[in-house]
Structure 1
C-alpha cells in the first residue's frame, strides 16, 4: 500500500497518439477532404509523418483516402460522436427550457459551454423571426466580451472572482460579437455549484429596445434558475466570491 502523502509520479502523454489526435483535429467545419499539403500546413507535421499516421487511422476507420490522395474523416468518428451525443443527457433538460424561452420571448435561445479559450454552442433553438444571428450547434466562437463569454469566464472560477458581486445578471451586451446583434446570458450550475454553462438569448439590436430587455431579463433569470435545479445544481450565493 502506498504511504500517505506519497505522490504518484508525473505521467506524460504518448507523442504518437498526440500527433494522431492533432491530425484529426486539423479538420474543420465545412471541410470535405484535405490534401497532404493542407494537413501539413494545419498541423505543422512533416508529410512523411502524416502519411504514417494516416495508415493507422485508416485501418481503424478514422480516416479514408480519396482517389486523388486527399484525406477525409471516416465512419468511426461519426460513431464516437453519436455515442457522445447519446450519453450527454444534459440535452434532455436543456432543450425544453430553450423551447420555452423561444415561445415566451420570440428570440433565439442557446446553451453554451466553455472549451478552452472558446465558447461552444451545445444546444440552440432558433427564433421564428427571419432576422436573427445564424450560429449553429457545434459552432465555436471566441471568448470575447459578449455576455455569454463573460458568464463562462467569471463563473467557471472557484472561488468566484470578486467582480462577480458587481455583475448585474443576466448580463446584457450589444454588438460585442456582431455589431447588429445583442446577447443576454445567465449562468447555469450543476452539482457541487460547478458551472454547467451559459443560458443565452440573442436578438438583433433593433428589436432589443430598453423595454424589450427589461421584459426578457427576468424570464431568462427564471429559466437559468429552473434549469440549475433540474440538473441537480444550486445557484451559488454571491458572498462566496474571493476577497479582492
Structure 2
C-alpha cells in the first residue's frame, strides 16, 4: 500500500488538558468564584488533581485564587472571549443551517432580525422549486402578522410573558404577507438569553399542506435549537420556561 493510501491513525486528546478544560467549564453564569469543594462536585475530579491543575491555570492567567482560597476566572479567559467575539461570523453558522433546512424540507429557509418596526432578511437560501416567495437578502419587510414577525415581536430582545407562554412553536401562518405563501418560524437565542433572530421556512400554500407542515415543524425546531447552541445561546423549555 502506498503512503498516500494509508489511513491516518486516530488521534487522542491529552488527559491533563481534558481535565484542565473540565475545570474551566465548571464555571457557570452568575458564578463569581468557586470553592475547591464546588469544583470537585461539578467536575468529578479529586481535590488534589484540581489543585495541581489550578496551579498551571493560574500561571497562564486562566484562573485566579481569592483570599478565601476559592477560584475565579482570570483575564486570559476574557482576552480569548474578546478575540472570539471579534472573529465570530454569524454567516458561518447560519448559512449552513439554512442549506440543511432546504435540503431536508425542499422549501426556502431564511434568518430574520428585527430593525425597529421592520424585519430584515439577513440570510436566505432559496428552495429548488421555481414556485417560491422571492425575497432577497437585505430586504426589509413590515412587522405584520406573519410567523416571522410574531417571533420577532414576542421574543425581542427577550421573551415577553405571559404572551409567549401561549405560543405553539414554531409559529405557522398562511397568507399573512402574501396570499399565496405560508411561513413557519422559531426563535434563535444568543448569549444571555437574548433573541438572535427568527429562523424561518416559507412555501407556497399549495405545498404547505397539513402533512407538509407536520413534517417540517420538528425539523425547524431542531434547527433552531442547534443554531442556538452553535452561537453560544441556550434554548428555553417551552412553554413552561416561557411562563416562569
**What TM bracket, shorter-length normalisation?**
0.5 to 0.7
Structure 2 unaligned regions, length at least 5: 1-85
Task: Indicate the SS of the match to 1:202.
Answer: strand
Aligned equivalents of 1:122 and 1:88: distance in 2? Answer: 16
Residue 161, structure 1, aligned to residue 161, structure 2: yes
Aligned equivalents of 2:224 and 2:242: distance in 1? Answer: 20
- CA drift at 1:159: 5.2
Aligned equivalents of 1:90 and 1:201: distance in 2? Answer: 19
Contact 1:175 1:182 in 2 (8 A): yes
Residue 194, structure 1, aligned to residue 194, structure 2: yes
Aligned length: 158
| Alignment map for 1:1-244 (pairs within 5 Å) | 89-158=89-158, 160-237=160-237, 238-241=239-242
Q: 1:157 to 1:89 in 2, by over 3 A?
A: closer
Contact 1:159 1:240 in 2 (8 A): no
- CA drift at 1:242: 6.4
Task: Indicate the SS of the match to 2:178.
Answer: coil
Contact 1:146 1:183 in 2 (8 A): yes
**Could you say what the CA RMSD is over the residues aligned between the two structures, in angstroms?**
1.7
Q: 1:239 to 1:110 in 2, by over 3 A?
A: same
Larger radius of gyration: 2
Task: Indicate the SS of the match to 1:229.
Answer: helix
Q: Deviations over 1:12-55 (max 9, x none)?
A: xxxxxxxxxxxxxxxxxxxxxxxxxxxxxxxxxxxxxxxxxxxx
Runs of 4 or more, structure 1, over 2 Å off, are 157-161, 236-243
Aligned equivalents of 1:159 and 1:170: distance in 2? Answer: 15
Contact 2:101 2:220 in 1 (8 A): yes
Contact 1:159 1:242 in 2 (8 A): no
- CA drift at 1:165: 0.8
- CA drift at 1:239: 4.1
Aligned equivalents of 2:88 and 2:179: distance in 1? Answer: 34
